[in-house]
Each structure stands twice: as structure tokens, then as C-alpha cells.
Structure 1
């Protein structure tokens, strides 16, 4: 009996120690992390083995299957030849693509995959870029031209050139308007920068805003703006300019103008200065001056012929 009791006690002690160790493993963070990593590694290994065996069987299991050739980038004739040599069926379709016409741009199944003999291999051939006539944007501003080209599917590159047209106006495109051009593509937009030498326009009687717009169209700039409140012209009207109209100046020259403004408003009576106190009621006159003035007024006029004596 004592021996049986000792054996039972020993087993109970081992079970308690095992439970204690399990609690340690499941409660301490670092040991729990190690356990989780180990479980994940085992799961990954099992999944890998299933994938290799079931999804990508070894060569012995794939006996009789044909490997699909890589066709992207090859010509249609070469692609067809490779597919037929692999004992597969060649099928093709086309779409517009930037690659050269007749080039394989996609395939299904992908190159390297296994397929049953006689299976179809569908290839997509490039029909070349989609062609579209270049829009006519000549005469528009360069901002309007950029919007029009963008809507047509083209990118634009501005090239500034000397021209008689207003500054910023489109004078041409490369390729010319109406020329077929593949999409996507780029159109060079020729924009007028004005002429190197410009005649100054007459700005007098124009509004300041109109004068500035006129100068900018010619490649000139608005210079100093002075104000004149003495003019009777409408406020904002250009009265004078420098340089004068008709002078030939270099592009980007500044033109100064003088502009009429409204005269200052009179002060209200309450704020006007009192000028009555500045003027005395009477000014004192010296007595000698007053007496001389009275004698002069009382003397009779001389009508005897200039004061000469009688004969």
C-alpha cells in the first residue's frame, strides 16, 4: 500500500508541474510569442507543400501538359509559329496601342503556364495608336489652345516666336492643324511673342484697363501711373503718355501714363475753417495820406490846355 500511495503522489505532482509549466507558457508574453511563431511556421510549411503538390504538380504529375510560350513583344507570325509548335491553338484579337501594329501586347494564358494540348492561347495584337486630326487652334490664346488640345487627348508644348500677332496668340502648330496624329501624342504650339521693335499705340482718351490690355497685346508694359485731379475728363481716362504714340521702342518697354481722377470733395460746413476772423473790419489809414486824398478829390480839373499861360 505505501508504494501505491507514493506512485499516486508522484503522478499527481507531475500533473501539477505540467499544469504550472503550461500556465507559464500561456501567460508570459515572450513565451506566448514564441509559441505563436512556431505555429505560424508549421502552418506556412503545410500550405507550401499543398500548393506545390496540388496547384503546381511536379513534372511527373504534369505529364502530357504543354508549356505556354512567352509571346508578348513578338510579331504575330512568330507568336503563331510558337503556339503551333507547342501543340496549342492560336487565337488573336486587336486593340489600339502605342506599340507598333502587329506586335503582341498581351496573352492568355501567360507565358510559362501549363495547358492541355489543343488548348487555345489568346493573344492581343497592337493596331497601332489611335489616329485623330490635330485640332485647329490658330488664333486662340495659348491658354485656350492648351485646353482644346487636352480635351482632344494631346499634350501641348508652347514655343514662343516673333510674330506680328498679339502677344500670347497662337500662330501655328506642329504638326499642322488637321494632320492625323496618334493618341496619346504631343503638339507643339507656336505662340506670338510680338515683334522685337514695336510702335507705341495712342492711349490718350482710353481707360486705364484698356490701355494696359493694348500694351500687353503688343508686348509692352504699363509703367508709372500718375494722377491728375484738375482734368474734367472722366476718372480713369488716360490724359498723357510717355513715350508718345508712334514712337518705335523695344519689346517689353514700359509706357508711363497720367490718368484723370475725381477732384477732392469739399469739406462740409461744420469742418470748414472760419476765415472771418482773419479779415479785420477796417484797416487804419495814416492821417497824412487821408488828408492828401481829400484835397485831390476837391481840386477842380485842369481844362486850360495842359497848364500853359494865356496869351
Structure 2
């Protein structure tokens, strides 16, 4: 377990069910944890995508879709997917936990494997990949890191012939196919096994996996990959420009039949390889059965049962270095422990049911007698007939495996979905829809790609996967307001849109670096390569407007000018005292820049009342008239007399509730 750094997820429970107990491995795209399913009380592997990938909408959608497909792929040599979900926004998969180690770990420990061990592992690898091919899946990243060698029921993985092999990460490579090199060297590890067609045009089908499996076989036999270089692109193009060397040119004494097997799988022309993992598996099984009898090159296979009646149950055949291992090894009787038919039932592939190894067998000497010549002649005739029959069977089987069961794939390109389905059904094939792709030339809903391609070999009655055109590629500008710059850039990158940073603006609510707006606005449809301008927050402005409401205009003006702000004054009538600030804009507490205009609204005081002339009126009547105007009245003299004088005088403007004196006398 990797404990070099603290991991906050260890000890937590995901989705109320999966309790993480330790970290198993960390890769460029995800981290794998060991967890306990507390509902079913079993150990599982939990793969959580890194946060850097979670912002890639296409990656997350593809990852989720592929996970659903893999979950339906049930096979003893495929790492099962049990569940999927999200934790804190990060997608995760719950998978079968395989007790063992990767093929990469085994090769790091042992450098290389014996031929029989290598073929035993390859058989189970191909059985898993063939199941995926039948389901319309292409692995795209077959390599030792994705091959798990589980402990045998007897314990351990030392007996590789009987170990259970499981293949992992189906579909993940397709989800990250646009990713670049990561810090762990993931791409460098992958280009060592990449097929030429992937390098040249990015096309991948079942034959791509066959090529990668052939490179894995080469590495198991020789302890190294065929090509190396300082840069990943340099290694990748060697697959395009060169034929994979024969394993026996690196490891002296390897049987030439293995050279032919590697050469078949790693042809640069995809059409010259086995059509899928199932076809390659048939060739591997045939080679392995023959190899188990005629080629003995390891300590395991040198344990040959002794002759009946001897005290030793096993005798050791010494290994003698030679360019031709076949000439040095005596025939091995049927029934030895390493034969495919004697593998434990849990580790035996279905195709190995009752098949017996082929190869030369010694014939016991005939008893002496006068009729021996006659019987010898008769046996020769019988043997000749048997050989002829076997030759016919072999030729017929070979024809059926290589040619007879195949036909040409019909051309479905540019047809509509309905037309393609009808035509495929008419020709005896079923149509499977893959993920659509954008196209500038093929109409939306029409067939853009097909796998196998037109006139490629295909098993009669098999499935044809078609990719429909999504039409010209356009993407709506996403809603980015309130998002951080890094997330906004990732969103635009995932939509193949460019971005530029516009002039920033101060904001009292958005932190610095957060998107305030976009140009064009969210929802506007753009073509790939078009540009979106992001207006970012500069954070809060440096000057805060003070609260001057209720202060005298002179005090308010002084406070604002001291802060480097420009004051604009507006006056209005108010019940507040004259020259009192009754409003400020922008509001107090707002952040602004230097020289920003701040508008102050100043009270002119209440509205003035113009006194009417009430002189020469009875005092009581005159007082009532003034009070009706909103002023107070004080009378001097005889209140029952006539108002002769008023102070202030008639026509004088006075504030409401001002005091007016009336002088009354006859």
C-alpha cells in the first residue's frame, strides 16, 4: 500500500456503504483504494477519478457510459464492475478486488517468463478481451499494468500455469484517449504497446488489441519491449516504421513457433493480423498444446514422470543451450501435470475441455514374429490413411477458421441510421450504435464510421458497430458566472473553445479571479476554435465610502475629499434641517476607486410658508387664518378687538410652525 503521503479518504465511508481501508495505487487519471462493502461484507476495489479530470465534461460522460457497458461484461477473466457513483463531485467505480499482483510486477521480479507460462497467461488475457470484442468493446490499452495475476486456490502466484488472470480498465482508455502525458509516465508506458494505426490515424478496432497482446507476449518471452526511445513519439513511430523482431533473436533457444505467433499478431498491416482476440486465442491454444509436448525449456516442464516401476516419481531433463530446443527434448507422455487438460477446473478455459496435446510419440517395439512385415505394411497403410484424414481435417479447420466463416462487411457509410439498419439486417448482420462524432461533411444522423470497415473480413451474422454523424460541431457557451478562472478554462477547453481575459472589474461580492461575465453571453452557440472573453473580478475596490448621512454638508464634503473622492451635491426640500446630508450614492460601505464621483443629497429644510395679510380683521378670525397656514399665533392687546399689526409682516416666507405675533386693539 502506498503510504508515502497522507490521504484524507482513508478511513472515510463513501455513499454510506464503502469504507476505504487503504490506497492500492495512484495513476495519471485515478486512484485505486481497497475498501470494504459494509452492506455485503466483502472487499472491493474503489477507483476514484482525480479532481483534474472531473472538470472535463466529455471525460466524465464517457467514463460513466463505458462503466455501464463494462458492468454488463460478465467473464471470469474480466475484473468485474459492481457499482458507480460520485463522491464530492468525483466519479468513482466499485470493482472486484483481485488478490494478487499485476503482470508488470511479475515481470519486474522475474524479468521474463517461460514459453508455457507466457502462453498460459496470454490465453486468459485473450479470453477476456475476446468477450469484450463480442460485446462491441475495444480495450485500447492492453499492457502488463492492466493484467492482474490472481492467487491460485493453492496459494500464491508462483505457479503461473494455474494462476487466474484478469484484465482491467476496459473502456477507460477510450475515455482518456485525448489525454496527454502525465507525471507518472502513463503515455510512455502505453506507447510501448501501441498499434501502428493508432499512431497514424487514431483508428482502433479489435485488431488493435491483438497487436498490443502480441507486444505483451513479446515482453513476457524476452523481458523487454521491442522499441525504446527518449521521447514517446519516437517510440510510437517505430511501431509504424519497423517490424517487431523475432523473440528468438533476443532470447536464444526460443522455439520458432513463438516467433511466428508474435509476428502474426504484430503485423503492421492490421488486415494481416487475426481479426479479433477470439481468432488469436485459437492460434495461441493450438501453439500452446503443441509446445507443451515438443518444447521443454523450464524447470516446471523438465519435471517429466519417470518410467513405471522406478522409485522416483519424477526425473529431471537437463536444459542444454541450443538454437533448436526441439532437437534436445524427448517427447513428453500425455498426462503430465502441465498439460492444458489437467489444469484445475477453475483455471481451465472452455476451449480446453477435452483437447489433448499433439506431437511425436514413441512407438513401442513390435513383438518378433513371421507376420511382423505383414502387420508393419498394414500399419503403414492405416497410418497413411489416418494422416491423410487428419490433413483434410486440419486443412478444413484452417480454411474455416481463417476464411470459411468470414464474409465481406457491407458498406454502410453515409447511409441514414434506418437505411443502414435495414441493409445490415438484409445482409444478415446486426447494427450496434457507437458514440456519435461531429462531422463537417456527413449529414447529421448518417453513418460516419463503421467497424469493421467496408469489405473487411467479418464473421457471418456478427455485429457491425456504426458511428453516426452529429453534424457540424457547435457548443453553447457554458454558464461560467461565479466560477473560478481555472474551472472556466477547463470548461471552455473541453468544448474546444478558446478564451481571452477581458478588463477586470471591482466587485463587493465576487472574490478576486472569479468570472463576473462572459462575452458572448452564456448559451450562445460557437464553433470549435472561437473565442470567449472572460471578465474577472478584481476583488473589492480599495476605497470604502463612509457613512455621512445626517452630517452637515461641510463635514461630509471634507471626509469624502480626504479619501480622494469627487463630491457632487444635490439639494431638495426636506423635513430635515437645512444643509443636512439625507442620502449618498453609491451607498455607504461600497468599495470604489480613487476619483469616483459620490453624489450627496442635501436638505434645504422644510418648504417656506408665505404669510397672508390678516390685518384689519377681527383678532380671533385673523389667528384662525394664520394657524390654517401652519404657523403658531401669539396675540397681544384685546383679543376681541381688531388685528392692527402682524410680525413678521404679510407676504413674508417663514418655516412651518413659525410664531407670528398679532397686535389687537380698537
Same fold (TM over 0.5): no
Bigger relative contact order, structure 1 or 2 (CA pairs below 8 A, ≥6 apart):
1
Using the size of structure 1 for normalisation, the TM-score is 0.33
Q: Tell me the TM-score normalised to structure 2 length.
A: 0.19
